[in-house]
A and B are shown apart, each in its own frame.
Chain A
Amino acid sequence: MARRVLPGFGLSLGYTLAYLGLIVFLPLAALAVKASGIGMAGLWKTISAPPVLAALRLSFGAALLSAVINAAVGLLVAWVLVRYTFPGRRLVDALVDLPFALPTAVAGIALTALYAPNGWIGSWLAPFGIKVAFTSLGVLVAMIFVGFPFVVRTLQPVLEALDRDVEEAATSLGASRLQTFVRVLFPLLLPALLTGFALALARAVGEYGSVIFIAGNIPMKSEILPLVIVKQLEQFKYADAAAVGVVMLVLSFLLLLAISLLQRWSRRWAER
Chain B
Amino acid sequence: MTECVECGADIALHDDLEVGEIVDCTTCGAELEVVDTAPPVLERAPELEEDWGE
Q: Do chains A and B stick together as partners?
A: no
Q: List the interface of chain B (C-beta within 8 A of A).
A: none
Q: List the interface of chain A (C-beta within 8 A of B).
A: none
